[in-house]
């Protein structure tokens, strides 16, 4: 009962905020008046003047893609150099040295690509300067990149017979100034109020209460980074244990705020989409697809964790739920969050490409661990990353429209645009690439000595750990199952490559679709046109997503979590 109330409250608040925030973002991207104009507008114009950008000139999809790539690669290089040189740079009270080249590469790609896979432990590796100038800045701009690509795609759908899909610099700047910065500011302050630390001082040496021994407590400018890591579906924690750390996520309320901010932008962007294409039902339909899938999988996760672990029974561990005992499988979970909020976090963080954690996914029951893994393998489109989730979803919608459009006896069209060979090619690439990266990456790791060396549980579970790592990197999620020694040159380089491919080789074909759609004529709708907002279409899209996801990963999942689950049951 309590679980239900918490879930209803969570999704209720989320859906309540979707419309106002979504409408606001639509205004921002359509260059309409918003209340932040006097402040942000001034900064915006000043920035354009400073960098010599003509905000009214627009780009073709190719120019847009080049701008996006150049900007991201420059960011990647900057973060790499920052890590390598942090020993000689200021704001480093602990005197941390240079990060190893392979780890620095991995982290640089990870933050540029909005993955935020962390092969390192934050407080023991990165200086305050690296955290702020590297990680935090990338948290903003990588999220803004995703939003920009999405907005370009939406323009491709709404415009007709033009080659222009907007200006990357403008879309990115506006995403940061009007959306990400103000929201982060509010969230950071709220988190500080709950006890999330925000300081430049060095780590604190304190005397522990029980033993009287001293302990070094890590602190730092955490709140400002945590806010954007949640909002921008980044997920890279300030501390190693991410939002399980009491200074990163101290209270149930901070936990609620952080979970809410994971999904808020991806959800609101659906409304923005509907608003911008001139039919909000289209946006609600996609949000419905996402919500139905997440709620179903959330049910599996909570049920699986609450049912507990049969092996614990033999160990005499009490798994019965009472008023004072959360019951179920509490291994690897924080007592202050319990089963529901741990399973909920695990589900939303992998549904969106966030990847922050408040519990140990490796300790979940096999099916409880399957849920986050499969959510990532679906392509990070169930909410997904800010911007990237919706554009990935739209690639699936294009595939779904293609097949169902044929079934109503017309060559397929979506929102008045014909879906033809070129769109199919690009949409297929968007769906194909993550699948290939995950499956091939896992296979290479299992076949190579370097890959197998650091699998600490060589079993079906060890297989799951490798599969999870590549599912996370290959879909730009960034969450870790752990249990796998991933901070090795092999995994740093391999996962870095996976993250790079998964981000940019998807964004480019999406922009290509935008360019191609923008160039087409608009077909007016008629009774013969397939409606794309009905419950039937929603069900069909869910069907396509789950079938593609299941067909691509069922064999792999069978050898990992599924057989593990059967083993636990059959014990």
Residue numbers at the binding site for other proteins (CB under 8 A): 399, 402-411, 416, 419-421, 423-425, 428-429, 431-432, 435-436, 439-440, 442-444, 446-447, 452, 458-460, 462-463, 521-524, 526-531, 534, 536-537, 540, 543, 547-548, 550-552, 554-556, 558-559, 562-563, 566-567, 570
Nearest approach in angstroms of CB 397 to other proteins is 14
Nearest approach in angstroms of CB 222 to other proteins is 39
The two tokens of residue 375 are 């959510």
Cα 185 to Cα 155: distance, rounded to the nearest angstrom: 29
Nearest approach in angstroms of CB 434 to other proteins is 10
Nearest approach in angstroms of CB 277 to other proteins is 16
Are residues 356 and 230 in contact, defined by beta-carbon separation less than 8 angstroms?
yes
Q: Specify the residue, 92 or 529, whose C-beta has the smaller distance to other proteins.
A: 529
Cα 508 to Cα 386: distance, rounded to the nearest angstrom: 16
Nearest approach in angstroms of CB 293 to other proteins is 17
Say whether 417 sits in a helix, a strand or coil.
Answer: strand
Cα 313 to Cα 297: distance, rounded to the nearest angstrom: 26
Q: Specify the residue, 248 or 465, whose C-beta has the smaller distance to other proteins.
A: 465
The two tokens of residue 365 are 């029951």
Scan for tokens 């609450």, then name that residue: 306
Say whether 560 sits in a helix, a strand or coil.
Answer: helix
Are residues 461 and 484 in contact, defined by beta-carbon separation less than 8 angstroms?
no
Nearest approach in angstroms of CB 363 to other proteins is 19
Element (H, E) at 207: strand 204-207
Contacts 24+ apart (CB under 8 A), 402-406: 402/427, 403/544, 404/530, 404/537, 404/540, 405/530
Q: Specify the residue, 101 or 416, whose C-beta has the smaller distance to other proteins.
A: 416
Are residues 353 and 389 in contact, defined by beta-carbon separation less than 8 angstroms?
yes
Residue ranges in 203-250 assigned as alpha helix (H): 222-231
Are residues 478 and 142 in contact, defined by beta-carbon separation less than 8 angstroms?
no
Nearest approach in angstroms of CB 412 to other proteins is 8
Nearest approach in angstroms of CB 570 to other proteins is 6
Are residues 260 and 14 in contact, defined by beta-carbon separation less than 8 angstroms?
yes
Nearest approach in angstroms of CB 274 to other proteins is 19
Cα 283 to Cα 260: distance, rounded to the nearest angstrom: 19
Q: Specify the residue, 37 or 453, whose C-beta has the smaller distance to other proteins.
A: 453
Q: Specify the residue, 348 or 557, whose C-beta has the smaller distance to other proteins.
A: 557
Q: Specify the residue, 2 or 534, whose C-beta has the smaller distance to other proteins.
A: 534
Are residues 197 and 250 in contact, defined by beta-carbon separation less than 8 angstroms?
no
User: How far are the Cα atoms of 101, 118, 357 from residue 491, in angstroms, in the given order?
Assistant: 13, 11, 20
Cα 442 to Cα 494: distance, rounded to the nearest angstrom: 10
Residue among 81, 121, 102 nearest 493 (CA): 102
Q: Specify the residue, 57 or 457, whose C-beta has the smaller distance to other proteins.
A: 457
Residues paired with 185 in a beta bridge? none
Q: Specify the residue, 109 or 530, whose C-beta has the smaller distance to other proteins.
A: 530
Using CB atoms within 10 A of its CB, is residue 20 exposed (0-12), middle (13-18) or buried (19+)? exposed
Nearest approach in angstroms of CB 442 to other proteins is 7
How are beta strands 214-217 and 204-207 bridged, if at all? antiparallel
Nearest approach in angstroms of CB 553 to other proteins is 8
Q: Specify the residue, 169 or 553, whose C-beta has the smaller distance to other proteins.
A: 553
Using CB atoms within 10 A of its CB, is residue 547 exposed (0-12), middle (13-18) or buried (19+)? exposed
């Amino acid at each position: 009962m309590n679980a239900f109330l918490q879930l209803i409250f969570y999704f209720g608040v989320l859906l309540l905020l979707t419309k106002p925030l979504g409408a606001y973002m639509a205004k921002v991207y359509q260059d309409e008046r918003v209340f932040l104009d006097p402040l942000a507008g001034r900064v915006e114009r000043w920035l354009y003047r400073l960098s010599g950008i003509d905000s009214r000139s627009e780009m073709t999809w190719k120019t847009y893609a080049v701008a996006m790539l150049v900007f991201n690669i420059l960011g990647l290089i900057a973060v790499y150099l920052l890590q390598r040189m942090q020993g000689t740079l200021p704001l480093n009270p602990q005197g941390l040295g240079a990060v190893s080249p392979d780890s620095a590469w991995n982290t640089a790609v990870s933050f540029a690509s909005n993955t935020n896979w962390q092969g390192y432990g934050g407080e023991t590796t990165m200086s305050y300067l690296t955290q702020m100038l590297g990680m935090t800045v990338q948290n903003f701009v990588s999220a803004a990149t995703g939003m920009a690509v999405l907005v370009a795609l939406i323009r491709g759908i709404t415009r007709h017979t033009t080659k222009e899909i907007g200006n990357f610099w403008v879309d990115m700047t506006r995403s940061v100034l009007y959306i990400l910065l103000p929201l982060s500011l509010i969230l950071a302050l709220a988190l500080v109020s709950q006890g999330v630390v925000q300081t430049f001082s060095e780590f604190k040496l304190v005397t522990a209460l029980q033993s009287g021994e001293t302990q070094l407590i890590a602190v730092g400018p955490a709140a400002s980074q945590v806010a954007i890591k949640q909002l921008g579906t980044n997920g890279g924690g300030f501390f190693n244990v991410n939002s399980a750390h009491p200074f990163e996520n101290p209270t149930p309320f901070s936990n609620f705020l952080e979970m809410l901010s994971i999904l808020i932008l991806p959800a609101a962007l659906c409304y923005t989409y509907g608003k911008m294409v001139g039919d909000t039902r289209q946006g609600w339909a996609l949000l419905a697809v996402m919500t139905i899938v997440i709620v179903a999988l959330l049910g599996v996760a909570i049920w699986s964790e609450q049912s507990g672990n049969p092996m614990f029974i033999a160990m005499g561990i009490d798994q019965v739920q009472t008023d004072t005992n959360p019951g179920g499988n509490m291994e690897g979970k924080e007592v202050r969050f319990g089963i529901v909020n741990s399973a909920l976090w695990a589900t939303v963080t992998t549904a969106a490409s966030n990847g922050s954690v408040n519990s140990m996914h490796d300790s979940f029951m096999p099916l409880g661990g399957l849920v986050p893994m499969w959510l990532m393998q679906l392509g990070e489109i169930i909410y997904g990353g800010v911007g990237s989730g919706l554009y990935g979803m739209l690639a699936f919608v294009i595939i779904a429209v293609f097949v169902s459009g044929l079934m109503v006896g017309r060559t397929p069209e979506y929102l008045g645009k014909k879906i033809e060979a070129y769109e199919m090619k690009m949409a297929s690439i968007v769906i194909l690439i993550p699948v290939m990266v995950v499956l091939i990456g896992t296979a290479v790791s299992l076949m190579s000595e370097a890959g197998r060396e650091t699998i600490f549980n060589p079993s079906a579970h060890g297989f799951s750990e490798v599969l999870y790592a590549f599912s996370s990197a290959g879909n730009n999620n960034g969450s870790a199952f752990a249990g796998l020694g991933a901070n090795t040159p092999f995994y740093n380089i391999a996962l870095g490559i996976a993250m790079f491919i998964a981000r940019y080789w998807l964004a480019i074909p999406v922009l290509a679709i935008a360019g191609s759609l923008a160039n087409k004529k608009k077909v007016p709708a008629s009774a013969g046109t397939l409606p794309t907002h009905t419950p039937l279409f929603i069900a069909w899209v869910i069907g396509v997503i789950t079938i593609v996801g299941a067909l691509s990963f069922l064999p792999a999942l069978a050898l990992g979590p599924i057989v593990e689950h059967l083993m636990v049951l059959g014990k």
